[in-house]
Structure 1
Amino acid sequence: MDNTEKPRRQRGQRTDSKFTVSEPAQLMAFLIEQLPHKNRNNIKSLLSNKQILIDGKVYTQFNHPLREGQVVTVAANRAPQTTQYRGLTILYEDPSIIVINKQAGLLSMATNKERDRTAYGILSDYLKKENPTNKIFIIHRLDRETSGVMMFAKSEKVQRLMQESWNATTKERTYVALVEGVPEPPTGTITSFLRESKALIVYSSQNPDNGQLSITNYNVIKANNGFALVELELETGRKNQIRVHMQDIGHPVVGDAKYGATTNPIGRLGLHAEVLAFEHPITGESMRFDAPVPKIFLSALKERNEE
């Protein structure tokens, strides 16, 4: 049975193709079956060019699981470039939320002491151009020198829904850090109770009465030149959690003099929010966004004789 929905086409225009999933399958296997004239490399190109959508949302993972009844769209043309501003890129926007990739050096929002250009300010200006009454609401923060995926709400209601259910609805928060030395063992879990001092320095304790429970899972991905690239998954989201926990095990994040680093080979804090996955606060849909590891992180691990 041909499940293809054949849209009307105007002369000279390429059109999208839509396929309805009839039984559970992985995305690559499904596309190979539906697109017999394309090989695996052709299909991988479609994925990397963001031309594959599932129920209207772009997916790039070839092994993404499909459910019966979902509609897979093969777009005729590449997706338009994401909207870029100085300091951030808008990855996704709908009536409820905005997801961005924040660059290192940009504040999430203004503080009493710092009124510099912020992600909050840029997005607020962006929304007000559409409608002067539009507002933006912060859901969670990234440190100024941390780059990566960050989400904002477009109403107080959505902000409250996300913050109140953060632990239940956030399915994955993965960071990548470039750290001094190589953690041993290469995989582990760091657990402590974190508390902030009056001097705004967060410190660890093993006393449950002396801070908030904080859990970080880590895995060394690659190591060279006295540095390691470490993937970190947060079970809790406390202020400076990764930075403190890396210091606790003797492998501070590079460029993080506040928490014990003595080197700065990349000219910035070596911390990046790579993945944020969550349930949409209004639709309940599973959402997943990723921001690739900055190339400068990998440069510190290159062999000295590499180009």
Structure 2
Amino acid sequence: MQHPQQDQNSTPANEAEAISRQSDCLVGQEHREGIRIDLFLAQTWPEHSRAFYQRCLSEHRVLVNDEHCRRADKVWPDDHVVIFWPPEKDTKLVAEDIPLDIIMEDEHVIVLNKPPGLVVHPAQGNMTGTLVHGLLHHDEEAFENMSDNTQRPGIVHRLDKDTSGVLVVAKNLQARAYLKDAFKEQVTEKTYLAIVIGCPDEPVGLIENKIGRHPVNRLKMAVVEEQGKLATTRYRVLASANGCSLLEVRILTGRTHQIRVHFSHLKHPVLGDALYGGCPKDLPCPAPRQMLHAWKLTFPHPANGVMRQYMAPLPEDFQQTLAALGLPAIGMRPKPLNPPVPPLANDDETDE
């Protein structure tokens, strides 16, 4: 097998620790046509991502038949694979006092209105200041009990950092398992409001195709012909003005960046979405971020299976953008009506 040039220091930095934390296996006969080593590792030890194993390969932590290999190399039946696991990092979450806009909370779930700019859970580049850290501060006992190495206690679905709106979080392991199944089986309903550039040709439409990683820009997703996952989006045009349209969008699947990718593919990107072409020089109205808001969420409650719907009012930046474009203020929280004050009873009136 071909392998990269290396010196004696290219083996794991702490050899004693690496040897004490290693795993090995033989490649099975089901891979008679060969399989990429990074894919084989991800299938054999699925607790980590394929990207994790690619990093292990680049750090020379994987041996195949006692030789280092590259991530594009293939392994074959009866090849002996050894991986030296990297040292475990301290993944303990620390509670942070982050304000939460709570729509509803009980002993099973908490429904929130996530503001734009808030990351849902820790990830590379955002290890602090996330919604998860705020949840730990809000109810440390509940979310500490669900903490694991994924650093996503209670999280059953996500919203992008700059997408605002309604989000449900589980407060115990049983609720988390129940809601994960509900999202997986598509018994939930997720409805968004989006401001897009231009106006789709059809006032009501269905977008259905495959979404996968962009072939060039790995930060983006894209509509692809092969090796993607089916994504289905329904939309309805609510209003159009000044070169933009307000859409009601319902996603039947939950692919990464699904709405942003689909409308960029239609040449009507979400206004303010720099990653997918929503910030042209001739913008009809400057937008501080992508104008996408998770408006309604319907899900079966873990306690009894009864369908519940919750709505998140529009944040101020979305309202301001609608007003600047002359679009209707749909999704606003109605102002409370002051009930009439009943007249005071006359002193001479008596109860019957």
TM class by smaller structure: 0.5 to 0.7
1:110 shift after superposition: 1.2
| One-letter amino acid matched to 2:320 | I
Contact 2:118-2:130 within 8 A present in 1 as well: yes
> 2:298 and 2:180 mapped to 1: Cα distance?
14
Task: Indicate the residue corresponding to 1:96 in structure 2.
Answer: 108
1:181 shift after superposition: 0.9
Contact 1:87-1:119 within 8 A present in 2 as well: no
CA deviation profile, 1:30-61 (whole Å, cap 9, x unmatched): xxxxxxxxxxxxxxxxxxxxxxxxxxxxxxxx
Task: Indicate the residue corresponding to 1:155 in structure 2.
Answer: 172
Task: Indicate the residue corresponding to 1:282 in structure 2.
Answer: 303
- Rg (Cα) greater in structure: 2
Overall identity of the aligned pairs, in % = 35
1:169 shift after superposition: 5.9
1:163 shift after superposition: 1.2
Q: 1:103 to 1:112 in 2, by over 3 A?
A: same
Tell me the secondary structure at the aligned position of residue 292 of structure 1.
Answer: coil
| One-letter amino acid matched to 1:142 | L
- Of residues 160, 171, 190 in structure 2, which corresponds to 1:173? 190
- Of residues 280, 291, 299 in structure 1, which corresponds to 2:323? 299
Runs of 4+ in 1 over 6 A off after TM superposition: 129-132
> 2:179 and 2:206 mapped to 1: Cα distance?
26
- Of residues 241, 245, 250 in structure 2, which corresponds to 1:224? 241
- Of residues 123, 127, 130 in structure 1, which corresponds to 2:135? 123
1:237 shift after superposition: 0.9
Q: TM-score, normalised by structure 2?
A: 0.57
Q: 1:214 to 1:256 in 2, by over 3 A?
A: same
**Is 1:109 matched with 2:121?**
yes
Q: 1:131 to 1:97 in 2, by over 3 A?
A: closer
1:87 shift after superposition: 5.4
Q: 1:87 to 1:222 in 2, by over 3 A?
A: farther
Tell me the secondary structure at the aligned position of residue 206 of structure 2.
Answer: strand
Structure with the higher fraction of residues in strand conformation? 1
Task: Indicate the residue corresponding to 2:334 in structure 1.
Answer: none
Contact 2:122-2:130 within 8 A present in 1 as well: yes
Contact 2:186-2:252 within 8 A present in 1 as well: no
Task: Indicate the residue corresponding to 2:223 in structure 1.
Answer: 204
1:281 shift after superposition: 2.0
1:185 shift after superposition: 1.2
Q: TM-score, normalised by structure 1?
A: 0.65
> 1:158 and 1:120 mapped to 2: Cα distance?
16
Q: 1:301 to 1:196 in 2, by over 3 A?
A: same
> 1:278 and 1:272 mapped to 2: Cα distance?
18
> 2:162 and 2:230 mapped to 1: Cα distance?
24
Tell me the secondary structure at the aligned position of residue 122 of structure 1.
Answer: helix
> 1:132 and 1:185 mapped to 2: Cα distance?
48
How many residue pairs align between the two structures? 217
Tell me the secondary structure at the aligned position of residue 139 of structure 1.
Answer: coil
| One-letter amino acid matched to 2:304 | T
> 2:230 and 2:142 mapped to 1: Cα distance?
42
> 1:87 and 1:142 mapped to 2: Cα distance?
17
5+ residue gaps, structure 1, are: 1-84
| One-letter amino acid matched to 1:122 | G
| One-letter amino acid matched to 1:298 | L
| One-letter amino acid matched to 2:324 | A
Between 126-135 and 247-256, report the one with greater CA deviation.
Answer: 126-135
1:156 shift after superposition: 2.5
Task: Indicate the residue corresponding to 2:159 in structure 1.
Answer: 142
CA RMSD in angstroms, aligned pairs only: 2.2
| One-letter amino acid matched to 1:271 | L
| One-letter amino acid matched to 1:203 | A
5+ residue gaps, structure 2, are: 1-96, 148-152, 328-352
